[in-house]
Structure 1
Amino acid sequence: MTTTVTSPAPSAPQDLKNPNRGLKTRTPGEGRMAAMLLSPTLLVLALVIVYPLISAIHQSLFSAESGLDADGFVTEGEAFVGLANYADLFVGESGRRFLNAFGNTTFFTVTTVLLETVLGLCLALAMNRAFRGRAFLRASILVPWAVPTAVSGLLWRWIFQSDGIANSLLGSEILWTAEGTASKLAVIIAEVWKTAPFIGLLVLAGMQIIPEEVYEAAKIDGAGWWRQLGSITLPLVKPTLLVAVLFRMLDALRMFDLPFVLIGPGKESVETLSMLAWDESNQLRYGSASAFAVVLFLYVAVVAVVFVKVLGADVTGAKKLGSKKRKATRSQKAEATR
């Protein structure tokens, strides 16, 4: 006698209707608790970021003026000028200084970040290898990044002075801290020396999570070191590298303290937008200073948007979270159709 055992029909339609079934959902109470816990941080951010930004935009619409009242006394105040401060950025002496500072800022950002990326990648590759003394190498590489920028500027100013170490080694009398190309080169050298370890550290963190089995499989397939670098290492550390480059570009666009300490204020060859805004505010021209600051903020915002939207830099980790959710959904659908 043959006995037939029938299994219950799978509940595929119900599972397919709700592919997110089994995933943890957030209740309204948890959302309110999260907002309550984040409110102090959001309040601090509003005080230190949103309010100064709104204040700078408001101040950029005014200009300081002085005159004589009906009694012949000198009066000072601010008059609403609208977008006149922004229009002055492209005409006259103010426009010339702005374009010069904008060019210096862009030049320093592109040059230093490019050199720091190449050097930081080389440092990460060196620190990722297993050899005796690797811990000492990692610690020594991070020393320049740990030095405060003002101290670093004073150190390199001592190196680049007329009778300093740089001229002694080169056997020349180059005026590194004066106007000209030499001052630009001095700023680039000092900036790359200080911040290249930052990129190296972040790229090293990305290399540490690459499974060793991937390299072993590549070696079995006959891939050499250069092939492994181009096909495994660089593609897998690309997200980390993009975030590191983004952070460095945003920091370089706001460059102020290093050229200010190393070369000094008022030097056209190294004057950046931050230095120009500081000089304008130091001359009590707060309207134009605020206009420079707002333009710099927009410049930084545009660069950030390009990196996040166009180049795909995952700053918040949302792409990884979305990928995990999609994998969980696909696995649940596969289990439901079995």
Structure 2
Amino acid sequence: MVHTKVPPGTAEHGTGSEAGGRSGRPRAPMGRRGRITAPSGPGRMAALLVSPTLLVLSIVVLYPTIMALRESLYGPKGLDPATGFIRTTEPFVGLRNYADILGAAGDRFWNAFWNTTFFTVVTVGLETLIGVAMALIMHKAFRGRALVRAGILIPWAVPTAISGLLWRWIFNSNGVANAIIGHQILWTTEGFHAKVAVIIAEVWKTAPFIGLLVLAGLQVIPKEVYEAARIDGAGPLGQFWHITLPLVKPALLVAVLFRCLDALRMFDLPYILVGAQKTSVETLSMLAQNEASNVRFGPAAAYAVILFLYVFLIALGFVRLLGADVVGDRAARAASRSGRRRRATAMRVTEVPA
């Protein structure tokens, strides 16, 4: 009888599956190339922790969006031309509401669309410049800095309705604004001056928001960077352009993105400051509210859906084109992927038999 030498680690040597069964210990699952795969417990735990947030978002965002899309396919009750009687239910009209909005009869929509875009571009641009200046002032170390910070942030803390009433008093025919410029201007009537009044009030209120986020970005910049730049001969303008602005860019982009999304939905400030159904300042949100207040829920829902798509496309384009990384740090993710590749390569090398 021929005897063969059994190498260690085989089933006959007592360390295989039988040995594992005798020891009573569960074996870890084996992945490709014999590596031990990690259990899926952390993934299940992450899904469990995120599920309440997803549930809330589904209730307050997804469901209303679906219902608004459905409602936009129906018309008002009104008079049925076929029977001559008042309809008891809303008739299904398909895409007729969208065709009326975007067609030849949509002059009011296009006016509101351009007003919304104009207010967004101008107010966000001015707020960015003023907000960065505010952040630089609040970041400086000087006596009374806490008082200055509190004073700058007061407009952001004032409710929008109160702010609209305050600026309505300022832009009154006998108000402070006319007293300062020395001319009698009816700011809250139709005309370009109504747009100017809304822009001034909006910038005054929301510029501190950008300043606050930029200030948070400034406070994480190490002082050693500025000291090294001063040693190299960089002046204040060079330090701002080559150090401050690049390092504060992530916080600034997030602030501008939030302000763009907020400005596209502008409603309460022009509604209170100037008034409803004013061609000069009517926005898409005001137009949708006007249709809903007149019990034309189908067209109102169509306006709301178009505004939702507009805001979504602006946000998507902002993130894609300007590089606003609102999900996470790209460099950190790249470093994490590189580290995983190095570890995988090292494990493959160690698996090669001698």
Q: Which TM class, normalised by the smaller chain length?
A: 0.7 to 0.9
The residue that corresponds to 1:90 in the other structure is 102
The residue that corresponds to 1:263 in the other structure is 274
For residues 108-134 of structure 1, give each alpha carbon's deviation from its aligned partner in whole angstroms, at most 9, with x where no partner exists.
000000000000011111111111111
For 1:229 and 1:70, locate their aligned partners in 2 and report how far apart those are by CA, in whole Å: 70
Larger Rg: 2
Which of 237, 240, 243 is the equivalent residue of 1:229? 240
For residues 209-231 of structure 1, give each alpha carbon's deviation from its aligned partner in whole angstroms, at most 9, with x where no partner exists.
11111111110111100011111
Are the counterparts in 2 of residues 150 and 261 from structure 1 also a CA contact under 8 Å? yes
Higher RCO (CA 8 Å, separation ≥ 6 residues) = 1
Gap regions ≥5 residues in structure 2: 1-31, 350-354
Which of 219, 235, 240 is the equivalent residue of 2:251? 240
Are the counterparts in 1 of residues 213 and 252 from structure 2 also a CA contact under 8 Å? yes
Paired AA for residue 62 in structure 1: Y
1:171-182 alignment runs, 5 A limit: 171-182=182-193
Paired AA for residue 230 in structure 1: W
For residues 84-107 of structure 1, give each alpha carbon's deviation from its aligned partner in whole angstroms, at most 9, with x where no partner exists.
1111112344x0000000000000
The residue that corresponds to 1:15 in the other structure is none
For 1:215 and 1:171, locate their aligned partners in 2 and report how far apart those are by CA, in whole Å: 46
Gap regions ≥5 residues in structure 1: 1-17
1:262-301 alignment runs, 5 A limit: 262-301=273-312
Are the counterparts in 2 of residues 64 and 76 from structure 1 also a CA contact under 8 Å? no
Is 1:156–2:167 an aligned residue pair? Answer: yes
Measure how far apart 1:326 and its partner are: 4.4
Which of 191, 208, 228 is the equivalent residue of 1:197? 208
Is 1:140–2:151 an aligned residue pair? Answer: yes
Compared with structure 1, are the counterparts of its residues 99 and 147 closer, same or farther at alpha carbon in structure 2 (3 Å cutoff)?
same
Structure with the higher strand share, 1 or 2: 1
Aligned residues: 314
Is 1:56–2:55 an aligned residue pair? Answer: no
The residue that corresponds to 1:43 in the other structure is 55
Compared with structure 1, are the counterparts of its residues 188 and 71 closer, same or farther at alpha carbon in structure 2 (3 Å cutoff)?
closer
Q: Give the share of equivalent positions with the same residue, in percent.
A: 61
Compared with structure 1, are the counterparts of its residues 71 and 101 closer, same or farther at alpha carbon in structure 2 (3 Å cutoff)?
closer
For residues 181-225 of structure 1, give each alpha carbon's deviation from its aligned partner in whole angstroms, at most 9, with x where no partner exists.
111000000000000000011111111111111111110111100
Are the counterparts in 1 of residues 77 and 86 from structure 2 also a CA contact under 8 Å? no
For 2:225 and 2:342, locate their aligned partners in 1 and report how far apart those are by CA, in whole Å: 24
For 2:84 and 2:212, locate their aligned partners in 1 and report how far apart those are by CA, in whole Å: 65
Measure how far apart 1:75 and its partner are: 3.2
Measure how far apart 1:232 and its partner are: 0.6
SS at match of 1:67: coil
For 1:72 and 1:331, locate their aligned partners in 2 and report how far apart those are by CA, in whole Å: 77
For residues 158-177 of structure 1, give each alpha carbon's deviation from its aligned partner in whole angstroms, at most 9, with x where no partner exists.
11111111111222211011
Are the counterparts in 2 of residues 67 and 76 from structure 1 also a CA contact under 8 Å? no
Compared with structure 1, are the counterparts of its residues 209 and 254 closer, same or farther at alpha carbon in structure 2 (3 Å cutoff)?
same
For 1:131 and 1:64, locate their aligned partners in 2 and report how far apart those are by CA, in whole Å: 62
Paired AA for residue 75 in structure 2: S
Q: TM-score, normalised by structure 2?
A: 0.83
Which of 85, 88, 99 is the equivalent residue of 1:76? 88
The residue that corresponds to 2:119 in the other structure is 108
For 2:121 and 2:201, locate their aligned partners in 1 and report how far apart those are by CA, in whole Å: 15
Which of 242, 249, 269 is the equivalent residue of 2:260? 249
Paired AA for residue 199 in structure 1: I
Q: TM-score, normalised by structure 1?
A: 0.87
Which of 168, 178, 185 is the equivalent residue of 2:179? 168
